[in-house]
Structure 1
């Protein structure tokens, strides 16, 4: 495992609360800030060149397409494909033209929380993944980054600041079951200190393997996507924020026009290299709809989690207000609600993620 803080308990007591329960105080805080700033959509101006600032219904590829030459070097290569007919042939032709070979990751261009993300190591799995999406949906197909470790880095830069800062680092571990030659996958899920507490997260993805007996020492990764709500284990890596890492990330993010607030998801070779600002590749860049995910470390207290949330959303409102004074506009409330509903509709149509 990469660096980070050790956990005493497998989950925190609030880690898997229903969303409405955990986020109610945050929504109340957002409303209070909206009243104060006289604009409930003020954070959408924090990244004014991104749809809703990245709050909802933003295009992943459109954000990556904004990258200049410096940022582009740090982003894993990708293509965009609209599902229609002859998807596999068109995808293969586009991948070949871009110099991208299998394995690749297929994901919806509009979505969140890893919904619909598919790992496709073979031509057959690529065909299956493309066919599993509705027609007329835009997909991003990205080269699989070979490094094992994944992290989310939260970046903030006010327009008048010479350099941005990293306010959160979260390491994302993929939980695995280890076979003993006797127990079924279902037995192993029930015995693991963490998975037995949240079996509903893992069982649907393993529905066809629950009765399988793993060989002694055989490992079964339980999820591919690095998303907490899909089953990845998040750990606080704040101790690994260094001036070198901050400078490297800042160079990249300043090469994306008017990007001021959001999370960079990446894979990296080692913690030592990451601390030096080296050997990492960006998977995607998220705007104001993202959060500082270190709060889902099992060692984080509820007070610490809310303090982090309030701080980051407070910053989003401040940056939005600064950008409004610079001439940018926020997203109109009812238009934003319409886009949020559209994103929800799209996400209901996506297949189960890997």
Structure 2
């Protein structure tokens, strides 16, 4: 078998390393940049109207709320709901005012990595999802986009540049098992070249059916949330970054005041339509704390992953320096630490994502 005929590895060398192992060089590089610029929190000024620039602890809905009339046309409709009493009735009132009907996606307003994201198809599921979260936190209830395809597009625009760029495009594939009428779900997981290596990601979400035999030809999607650490498969789609798509994303993002650096997560009809800048809806906009997620493609080398990380965070410092010079202030370090700790506490309190 030639090198070209070899199948790619189901996992990359570093894909599921412990976070502290993979990110230690990234943190070290961030500190070096902070010393060079004289301010380790400088990137938080890159998106100065967002709390911490979107590094941590920011509200998802507050970013979407800043969108102008043009950008709003591309964002999936949503409402927010603080948990408390009579959540179901209040959710219905808010959804009706926005024209939202089931199915919807319920997710925490402050969160990351898909933690707590729930797919809600029925009235009973909505009631259960709302009850699963702690009291006195804000949730986002968003329209479920019918298109199955999802992607993350990283956007960078320097304040002195008339147009931004898409520096990374990543397709998010939801893994699925196909039944053979003989093996249980657990057995199918154990036989698959990828899932067998990361059973700890999938089995907690499938406890209700692990020992059931999946009928021949039936498919079982393993996760709903399109996040790598929750089990989605990421593919580098850089070849599909076109001038048409770049122009469309730039027009949208320039309709969000002082947004310069972050990732836009979208659902889309087809790769062909996305390349043309058509038929997609934004489900989330992430700031400085997001990353160019093509690094989690199993074909990406460790060297390429670090090169991408260093490039993007270097750009965040450059943009932050320009915004600071224009009069914007970075987040105070200790305030940032406080918000990060709050976010950690909240993440630990959320229910298991779908």
TM-score bucket (shorter structure): over 0.9
Partner of 1:281: helix, strand, or coil?
Answer: strand
CA contact (8 A) 1:7 1:298 kept: no
- Give a deviation string over 1:83-133, Cα, whole Å, max 9, x none: 001101110111011101110000000000000000001111000000000
Residue 50 (structure 1) aligns with: 50
Partner of 2:146: helix, strand, or coil?
Answer: coil
- Give a deviation string over 1:184-204, Cα, whole Å, max 9, x none: 000000001100000000010
CA contact (8 A) 1:46 1:316 kept: yes
Partner of 1:126: helix, strand, or coil?
Answer: helix
User: Take 2:218 and 2:212, find their aligned partners in 1: how far apart are those partners?
Assistant: 12
- Give a deviation string over 1:25-54, Cα, whole Å, max 9, x none: 000000000000110100000000000000
Residue 205 (structure 2) aligns with: 205
The two structures have a TM-score, normalised by structure 1, of: 0.98
1:73 aligns with 2:73: yes
User: Take 2:204 and 2:272, find their aligned partners in 1: how far apart are those partners?
Assistant: 36
1:287 aligns with 2:287: yes
* Structure 2 runs not aligned, ≥5 long: 1-5
User: Take 2:290 and 2:7, find their aligned partners in 1: how far apart are those partners?
Assistant: 24
Residue 164 (structure 2) aligns with: 164
User: Take 1:170 and 1:127, find their aligned partners in 2: how far apart are those partners?
Assistant: 34
The two structures have a TM-score, normalised by structure 2, of: 0.98
1:180 aligns with 2:183: no
The CA RMSD over aligned residues, in Å, is 0.8
Residue 219 (structure 1) aligns with: 219
- Give a deviation string over 1:142-185, Cα, whole Å, max 9, x none: 00001110000000000111100000000000000111001000
Residue 332 (structure 1) aligns with: 332
* Structure 1 runs not aligned, ≥5 long: 1-5
- Give a deviation string over 1:246-283, Cα, whole Å, max 9, x none: 00000000000000000000000000000000000000
Q: Which runs of 4+ in 1 moved over 6 A?
A: none
User: Take 1:213 and 1:41, find their aligned partners in 2: how far apart are those partners?
Assistant: 52
Partner of 1:196: helix, strand, or coil?
Answer: helix
Number of residue pairs matched by the alignment:
349
